[in-house]
């Protein structure tokens, strides 16, 4: 079953039967993703206009927003780091996941109605990271790169489970301390930074 699924995924490999044309096509797709990153981040900057200087220290929403910005910028960095240091992104499904992630980034920046909602966006974000790496794992890149993709896949699974646990504690168990913005946003910031560090380590050139 797993072999069949991987075979179906590999049907979406983008191959133009010419290495130069392939590289140009991949480059165009990466540029498109980069432009969309810039659009999402630029539109999101308008959110800062809603804050006054005195709000920065009085209301946690500003820091929730800044954590979202850090997550998006870290994703932009990680995307380029992964595509340069890791195996090339050659599957059309990966680019589909990239587009879904950009929608989640917009929601993360613009829709912060409650802790439960924000945790849901982070859960979706890391689930799509997991899916992105899983799609890459369906292709054989050689022992070294396969190991890196597998390690990144496990990392995304672990972080997704942690955020799912936080969401369950907030929404279903209603643990009071975890329904406080001043508690949740530092946890999310720490998770985002630790995650980015380990992704960097996994895909660091040797």
Confidence of residue 206 (pLDDT cuts 50, 70, 90): low
- DSSP string covering 108-177, please? HHH--S-HHHHHHHHHHHHHHHHHHHHHHHTS---HHHHHHHHHHHHHHHHHHHHHHHHHHHHHTS--GG
Number of H helices and E strands in the chain, helices first, is: 8, 0
pLDDT tens digits, 56-103: 666 677 888 889 889 998 988 877 776 666 667 778 888 889 989 999
Confidence of residue 53 (pLDDT cuts 50, 70, 90): low
Its pTM stands at 0.88
pLDDT digits (tens, 9 = 90+) for 146-164: 898 899 999 999 999 999 9
- The dihedrals phi and psi of 141, each to the nearest 5 degrees, come to -110, 0
Q: Which of 175, 169, 98 is nearest to 132 (CA)?
A: 98
Q: For residues 135 and 6, which has the higher predicted lDDT (pLDDT)?
A: 135
- Cα of 32 vs its chain's centroid, Å: 17
pLDDT at 54 over 70: no
How many angstroms separate the Cα of 105 from the Cα of each of 4, 73, 82, 110, 131?
Answer: 32, 10, 18, 9, 16
User: Which residue reads 């995924």 in tokens?
Assistant: 9
Split at pLDDT 50, 70, 90, the class of 187 is very high
């Amino acid at each position: 079953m797993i072999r069949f699924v991987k075979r179906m995924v590999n049907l979406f490999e983008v191959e133009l039967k010419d290495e130069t044309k392939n590289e140009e096509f991949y480059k165009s797709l990466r540029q498109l993703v980069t432009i969309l990153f810039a659009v999402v981040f630029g539109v999101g900057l308008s959110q800062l206009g809603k804050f006054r200087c005195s709000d920065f220290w009085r209301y946690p929403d500003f820091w929730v927003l800044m954590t979202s910005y850090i997550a998006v910028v870290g994703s932009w960095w990680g995307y380029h780091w992964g595509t340069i240091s890791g195996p090339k992104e050659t599957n059309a499904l990966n680019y589909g996941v990239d587009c879904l992630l950009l929608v989640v980034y917009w929601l993360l920046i613009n829709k912060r109605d409650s802790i439960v909602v924000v945790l849901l966006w982070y859960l979706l974000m890391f689930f799509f990271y997991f899916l992105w790496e899983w799609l890459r794992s369906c292709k054989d890149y050689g022992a070294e790169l396969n190991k890196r993709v597998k390690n990144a896949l496990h990392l995304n699974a672990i972080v997704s489970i942690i955020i799912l646990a936080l969401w369950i504690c907030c929404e279903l168990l209603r643990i009071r301390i975890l329904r406080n913005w001043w508690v949740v946003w530092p946890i999310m910031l720490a998770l985002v930074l630790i995650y980015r560090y380990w992704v960097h380590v996994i895909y660091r050139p040797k």
